[in-house]
Amino acid sequence: MKDFKRSRRLRSSAEIRGLVRETNVHISDLIYPMFVVPGKNIKREIPNMPEQYHYSVDQLKEAVKEVIELGIKAIVFFGLPENKDEDASEAYAMDGIVQLAVKEVKKYYPGILVITDVCLCQYTSHGHCGVVKGGVVINDESIDKLAAVALSHAMAGADMVAPSDMMDGRVGRIREILDKNNFKHIPIMSYSVKYASAFYGPFRSAANCAPQFGDRKTYQMDPANRLEAIRQVEADLEEGADIIMVKPALAYLDVIREVKNGFSAPIAAYQVSGEYAMIKIAAREGLIKEEESMVEALAAIKRAGADMILTYFAKDMARWIRRNQ
């Protein structure tokens, strides 16, 4: 009699499981998000995001050294300005917080890939990602400002810009202004498929950027939509995006896969603050095992089709990979 399929043969030892493992997260897949604040001598843990910190610019030399020593090749900067205003003027100031952070890191570590988040929400008094007039976020004025932000980041030495605002046409406008100013070589990683997600909660307190009225649903995507994601990606590639991002990650693995199958552009996925906090805090409460949950979630994101992952776990994951792979 024919025996049944013995699937367990290939699960019988760690060695054999290693041989047949289909997905491995590599350190070179990881992008580490960092928050920069005004002031001096500041390394302050962010409430709701255990083990993530607000750094003042002078602390970056030390902080980025650790990242590099772990083998991580890329970081993404988020800035908290000194003052917010209607115009988001510190977002595109040459001595703005992100611009200073980029210069500082590039001075010590020219080899690390420095990506900058391009948005207005941390910098506007109302906390929206664009220009507000009469209670409405105005698209076309917003993209002019976003282009100015991206240009100022490139001038400061950023290697890549990553617009996260979700205004229409911003990728094209950023490409145009970069090209005109001799930054043809700077890639755009577009937050193309960014959902209006509750999982951004901890980030909004970390970046102090919660909208002061209304919500982001007039520009971020409805979590219920899949085909809309395809249209976003088509538009962004047409406008010149080099890397496409899907955000958040774990609740949108189907969308990552769909975008991966439908397009040849590299895909980034952002494991957002809420995804990070859920694992960290549940583990602290003894409900789940932290490392195993981290590895499982990141492998799932990679398996779904992400070529790279923005994650607050980057350092923890790099340590795990060094020990286990």
Nearest position to ligand PBG, beta carbon: 203
The least distance separating ligand PBG from the CB of residue 28, rounded to whole angstroms, comes to 21
- How far apart are alpha carbons 271 and 280 in whole angstroms? 13
Q: Is 146 in the site for ligand PBG (CB under 6 A)?
A: no
Q: Is 35 in the site for ligand PBG (CB under 6 A)?
A: no
Active site residue: 194, 260, 280, 302, which one? Answer: 194
- How far apart are alpha carbons 144 and 318 in whole angstroms? 38
Q: Is 272 in the site for ligand PBG (CB under 6 A)?
A: yes
- Kindly report the number of other CB atoms within 10 A of residue 20's CB atom: 9
| Residue 322 annotated in ligand binding | no
Strand partners, 162: 117
Nearer CB in complex with ligand PBG: 22/202: 202
| Residue 121 annotated in ligand binding | yes
The least distance separating ligand PBG from the CB of residue 315, rounded to whole angstroms, comes to 15
Q: Which stretch binds ligand PBG (CB under 6 A): 59-67, 114-122, 133-141, 227-235?
A: 114-122
The least distance separating ligand PBG from the CB of residue 33, rounded to whole angstroms, comes to 7
- How far apart are alpha carbons 181 and 198 in whole angstroms? 37
Q: Is 200 in the site for ligand PBG (CB under 6 A)?
A: yes
Q: Is 194 a catalytic residue?
A: yes
- How far apart are alpha carbons 150 and 158 in whole angstroms? 9
Q: Buried b / exposed e across 256-293, counting CB within 10 Å, b at 16+?
A: bbbbbeebebebbbbbbbbbbbbbbbebeeeeeeebeb
| Strands 113-118 vs 74-79: parallel, antiparallel or unpaired | parallel
Q: Is 143 in the site for ligand PBG (CB under 6 A)?
A: no
Residue count, binding to ligand PBG (CB under 6 A):
11
Binding mask 41-80 for ligand PBG (x = CB under 6 A): ----------------------------------------
Q: Is 302 a catalytic residue?
A: no
DSSP string, 9-72: GGGSSHHHHHHH------GGGEEEEEEEESSSS-EEEETTEEEEEEEEGGGHHHHHHHHHHTT-
| Residue 231 annotated in ligand binding | no
Vertex 292 angle, CA 11 and 116, to 5° = 125
DSSP string, 247-296: ESSGGGHHHHHHHHHH--S-EEEEE-HHHHHHHHHHHHTTSS-HHHHHHH
Answer for which of 252, 273, 277, 302 binds ligand PBG (CB under 6 A) is 273
Nearer CB in complex with ligand PBG: 117/159: 117
Q: Is 123 in the site for ligand PBG (CB under 6 A)?
A: no
Catalytic residues: 194, 247
Binding-site residue positions? 119, 121, 129, 204, 216, 273, 312
List of residues contacting ligand PBG (CB under 6 A) = 117, 119, 121, 129, 164, 200, 203-204, 216, 272-273
- Annotated binding residues for 5-aminolevulinate, as ranges? 204, 216, 273, 312
